[in-house]
Amino acid sequence: MTRKLAVLLTVVLVVALFGGGCGGGGSDQPGKTVEGEEKQEYLVRFAHEEIPGSVQDLYAQKFKEVLEKKSDGKIKVEIYPIGQLGDATQQCELLQTGGLEFAIISPGNTGTIVPENQLFSLHFLLSDDMNINKRIMKESRALNDMLSKLYLEKNIKVLAYWTEGFQQWTGNKPLRSPEDFKGFKMRTMPSPMIVAAYEAYGANPTPMPYLEVYSGLQLNMIDGQENPIFAVEEMKFYEVQKALVLANACLYVTTTSVNPDFFNSLPDDLQQAVLDTAEELRDYSFDIQQKLNDERLGRIKEVSDIEIIELSNEEREALRQASMSARDRYVSMVGSKGKEILDLLVKEVEQIEKGK
């Protein structure tokens, strides 16, 4: 089945599930409005890429709570975890076409849609200090101006960039150096740049859907994977791996996004409510990822005998040097616009780190 046909079928399913049998303009139709004597109501869908209880799910639940309050109940939000409306890439395509109003859209799943966003897959690009990363994602012109314009060209309006924490590695052996990656089958998201990032170490990157990773590890179809710690714990990857490497080489960056046609159709006060909600959740997103990642690391230690490895400064530096060739690969993939964004982001990180 082609991707376009799969997305079309998903749209049909969404219409059948939420639109069938309802009178025109009924309040139970997502994305539709209800004309009342005192207010106009909007029932909207918010999809995310993870399972219930994850960082994205907690974020989405908080977004729903805050937006419904800020809109004085005029916007009602329904939340759909991954799988309910298709996989992560299909959810992004539904957002683009208006089949969804809101979604958490991660660059690792949209690298072929907005190629320039693959710079988030570059290792040792952002800071080791989460407070600096918080400032970058709020203040960066490279992200909030230049990159967001490219998203908008693809009919995706980014409301905020945020992180779910550092990507950590698990493997069927310790991963301490580029030599340890030679021929290593590392599961990746379907992003050409993530593939390139691990090829820089000499690995054999293997794209695989998130919900298939556990069985892939169990059946030795792949040797390891990368994810924030909370995901390693909730998906129980530690059960089928020998080592958990706290590399802190790359952040899992994601976005809160809205369909721009829907956003522009809202009255000014509700547009502001959406913007204010995304802004208010900036601190929450960083706090919840830290809380969950810390808690889940403790739980892994309690229930598993997996070897937990913290890399030395020397080991991280060797990996950092090996990773630099991926930056040239990024520029060759995306061209001058991507290079301009990357160069400015590197400069912004350096400036904020110097001024901290």
Contact 181, 202 (CB under 8 A): yes
Comparing CA positions, the residue from 59, 61, 7, 94 lying closest to residue 254 is 59
Q: With bands split at pLDDT 50, 70 and 90, how would you rate the model's confidence at 44?
A: very high
* Residue ranges of domains in the chain, CATH in brackets: 34-354 (3.40.190.170)
Instruction: Name the nearest CA neighbour of 120 among 131, 129, 132, 133.
Output: 133
Q: In the predicted model, what is the mean pLDDT of residues 318-330?
A: 95
**pLDDT tens-digit series, residues 154-201:** 999 999 999 999 999 999 999 999 999 999 999 998 888 889 999 999
The percentage of residues in the chain with a pLDDT greater than 70, rounded to a whole number, is 89
Q: Checking DSSP bridges between strand 33-35 and strand 186-188, what pairing results, if any?
A: unpaired
Chain segment 88-106, per-residue pLDDT in tens: 889 999 999 999 999 999 9
- Comparing 150 with 111, which gets the higher pLDDT? 150
Q: Is-contact 77 44, C-beta < 8 A?
A: yes
Q: What is the mean pLDDT of residues 120-133?
A: 94
Q: Which is higher by pLDDT, 21 or 194? A: 194
Q: Are 163 and 93 in contact (CB under 8 A)?
A: no
Q: Read off the tokens for 185.
A: 């089958």
| Residue 101, token pair as written in the block | 């109003």
pTM of the model: 0.82
The DSSP output letter for 306 is -
Give the pLDDT confidence score for residue 61 in this predicted structure.
97
> Mapping DSSP to helix (H, G, I), strand (E, B) and coil, where does residue 41 land?
strand
The three state secondary structure string of 143-191 is HHHHHHHHHHHCCCEEEEEEEEEEEEEEECCCCCCHHHHCCCCEEECCC
Distances (CA, A) of 174 to 62, 179, 241: 37, 11, 10
Q: Please name the helix (run of DSSP H) or strand (run of DSSP E) that holds residue 294, with its range, or none.
A: helix 268-303
Least confidently predicted of 11-20, 78-87, 254-263: 11-20
- Pairwise CA distance, residues 318 & 328, whole Å: 18
Other CB atoms within 10 Å distance of the CB of residue 306 = 18
Res. 40 pLDDT band, cuts 50 70 90: confident
